[in-house]
Structure 1
Amino acid sequence: MRLQPIIVPGWKDSGPGHWQSQWETMLPQAVRVRQRDWENPVCAEWIATLAAEVERARTPALLIAHSLGCLVSAALPVPLWHKVAGALLVAPADVERPDAPECLRGFAPIARRPLPFQTVVVASDDDPYCALA
């Protein structure tokens, strides 16, 4: 089964040296989510943009998310779950922490429901943006 990789960057996008950008060049069939405003994210708008990419996918989607993109991926509307084969969620952002930037607070509360597709979360115990717990 062929999958449709969908790269889901976080706040401020991922620059040319970022691992997501490198993967995008190595995966020619990958689609990168393009948000209208990377600096001032709007939760509903970001989720709708990802939902549109998942809807367009002709094969099951593989979400490749980083930071705020992990929260957007976890908040994907339930009717689209059947179109997702799996997700790689790297360094999720904790928008509920006291020192989170104000522009990210609209992404709270963080979705904590189990996802029905294969999911791998990559996190570290020294991430300043999200405690391991």
Structure 2
Amino acid sequence: MKIKDSDILIVPGAGNPSPFHWLTRWQDNMSTARRVDQDDWNRPQRETWVNRLVDAVGESEKPVILVAHALGVLTVAHAAPALTGKIAGAFLVGASDWERPELKATYGDHSFDPVPRQPLGFAGLLLASSNDPTCNITKAEAWARDWGIHFGNAGEAGHFEPESGHGPWPEGLMAFARFTQTL
């Protein structure tokens, strides 16, 4: 599938990425990309975030490719049962493990726990890092298996953010292009 033939929905995690983050850069450079905005990026609530994603998919006129990072990955997993039919695929990067007490404590929200374990119902790729401080790579691989999607080990890539050297992230863009060609 060509990017121009799809609606690219950018699904960020908590905090909303800066202009230097690869998600923002990709959004700015893909003509069919738009961000799924949330009312409060610093106080995520599962029901609100999931509903916002479902609404954005419903407004799309073309097949949808989701591009999610961190808590955005879990938002996709929670929303998946309501997304069947319009999703061509999901490119998921650096899932955050909100089953870990320290992440729940940071944002004061427990509604993303437990992480869904049923198949997403659409094609996907979950990229994880062997040294991501927010999610153990073994757990990320188990989620990909449970979700029925492909898994990619990106090596020591941190949390795929500017602080770990992922501003423009050309390697990620090449992986995304390869992924879209499989759809």
TM-score scaled by length of structure 2: 0.70
Higher helix share: 2
Aligned to 2:31: 28
Aligned to 1:65: 68
**Secondary structure at the residue paired with 2:111?**
helix
Aligned runs of 1:40-51 on 2, under 5 Å? 40-51=43-54
Measured against aligned partners, the alpha-carbon deviations of 1:19-47 in whole angstroms (never above 9, x if no partner) come to 00000011021110110000111110000
User: Offset of 1:131 from its aligned partner?
Assistant: 0.3
Measured against aligned partners, the alpha-carbon deviations of 1:4-26 in whole angstroms (never above 9, x if no partner) come to 10000000011100000000011
Aligned to 1:105: 110
User: Offset of 1:80 from its aligned partner?
Assistant: 2.3
Unaligned runs of 5+ in 1: none
Structure index of larger Rg: 2
Aligned to 2:93: 90
**Secondary structure at the residue paired with 2:65?**
strand
**Secondary structure at the residue paired with 1:107?**
coil
Q: Is the 8 A contact 2:54 2:79 kept in 1?
A: yes
TM-score scaled by length of structure 1: 0.95
Output the amino acid matched with 2:120: L
Aligned to 2:7: 4
User: Offset of 1:121 from its aligned partner?
Assistant: 0.4
CA distance in 1, matches of 2:40, 2:124: 27
Q: Which runs of 4+ in 1 moved over 4 A?
A: none
User: Offset of 1:114 from its aligned partner?
Assistant: 1.2
CA RMSD of aligned residues (A): 1.2
**Secondary structure at the residue paired with 1:116?**
coil
Q: 1:104 to 1:124 in 2, by over 3 A?
A: farther
